Amino acid sequence: MFRTAIALAIVCVTASAAVARDLCIQIDSGFYAGSALVLKKARITRRSVAPVQGYIARYVAGTFSFFTPLYGQSVVNANGRVAFGITFQNASVTPSGSSNGSGEPRSISMVCTPGTGTTIRPPDMCSTFIDSTSVNAHVVDCFPEAAIP
């Protein structure tokens, strides 16, 4: 009985890790245009609720200059539509140091809809609000330029 419980626990942990993947979403308009949300090991399986964490790779003057932590929750319905509630702070790291700003944390409300099937993937669109401002965004393949230096 004990061996069966251990085997079942290993299968559950392995299966859970297998469905978690990095998810990248590019912001296409507004103040953060060109920036990427990098959600690390996002669990976005149908009918699930899960925490999300990662960072915003802020695109400024042709390069990713600031890397700001983010955290939140996701919920996915049976059709694969994903809703994210995300908060990010004013503290960042840069390729050469850090940046710390004042002010309230910012919020991102986002719903991504699968284009084909029930899994979001590039180039699926995401209805997005940063604070109360509507911006365009879409799912992209994660790219090395948005990695933390």
pLDDT tens string 78-120: 999 999 999 998 888 888 888 877 778 999 999 999 998 888 9
3-state secondary structure the chain: CHHHHHHHHHHHHHHHHHHEEEEEEEECCCCCCCCEEEEEEEECCCCEEEEEEEEEEEEECCEEEEEEEEEEEEEECCCCCEEEEEEECCEEEECCEEEECCCCCEEEEEEECCCCCCCCCCCCEEEEEECCEEEEEEEECCCHHHCCC
Report whether pLDDT(58) > 50: yes
> Above 50 in pLDDT, residue 8?
no
